[in-house]
Structure 1
Amino acid sequence: MRLVLILILVFLNCKDKKYLRIDDEKESGSMISMRDFSRLSYTKDGVLEWKLLGKESYIYPTDNRTVVYGFEFYQYDGGKYKSYLTGKRGEINHSTKSVLLEGEVNLKTEDGKILKSENLNYNLDEKTLSTDSEVVIYSDGTTIRGKGLRADKGLNKYTVLRPTAITVGGTSPLKEK
């Protein structure tokens, strides 16, 4: 009799609980989502080529694209650091082999050049950078501001499409290397 009474009390206290979803995903429709994402690429000889890190990653296999929040991309050449590219959100299109970065985009090269913009396109095949947004480039004491950019990935050759201000210091950024 006591057992029946205990079971009745237990069932009376059991109510439908509403569960809160802890993961509040920034993207919808992805097949795979991950936190603290990282991916490394090595050459056939085992030398590190690049490293991609992200706070959140959403993979869309049917669209052949990946979205990464907290985008951090390190490039290496012969295992040596070459550049560091960051943005709040990066969308990698695996079909076109391009990356679209948005929000506080920063590129820093091994020789100290810095590029800042709100948007940046990186073509992985051609290894080129482009944007139609405002840009600021710091190079050897010289600052160039403008709108629009076409450049190689290391900022060794670049064109600011509509320059608005140049502050000269250090040596000439246009000198031959």
Structure 2
Amino acid sequence: MASLQEQLLKAGLADEKKAKAIRNEKKKQRKQQPKGTVQVNEAEVRARQAREEKAERDRQLNLQRQQEAEKKAIKAQIRQLVASNRLDRSRGETSYQFVDGKKIKKIFVNDAMVDQLSRGRLAIICVDDTYEIVPDKVARKIMERDDQAVIVLHDRKTDDQGDDDPYAGYEIPDDLMW
């Protein structure tokens, strides 16, 4: 079999002068390369780069999927905590207003819940666009998982004695003069 160069010469598509110039150019390139170096195939380099880029994209996708799975797991934990610890407010007659984002929202609770909400013993949680009332300990557990789920949780005051107040049963008279 004749080489491609010889075939082109026979067909008349190339002349002997150009073929000789190309052979000389190839010899010069081979002599200029230091010994021991292998010619790097551009196709192999591109293929390796493409594999590395694809591996990096795959890592990023896997990381994103893991983060989404973690978020779903946290939301499920919050739903479970709220479902098992929410307080019944079906007989609420007093409206309690609070701020959620830039809007003022209103829920109906009983008078005892209003007092406990203001003292920081109860908290309002937003789960699946509904508002639930839970004890403060549960709210703090939820805050560890997601700060934005807890809408209202007032700080407890150190002088708030609450249920342990020894004078809770005594009323202060309105006409008391000092």
Q: Same fold (TM over 0.5)?
A: no
Instruction: Answer with 1 or 2: which has the greater Rg.
Output: 2
Which structure dedicates a bigger proportion of its chain to helix? 2
TM-score by length of 1: 0.25
Query: Could you state the TM-score of these two structures normalised by the residue count of structure 2?
Result: 0.25
More strand by share: 1
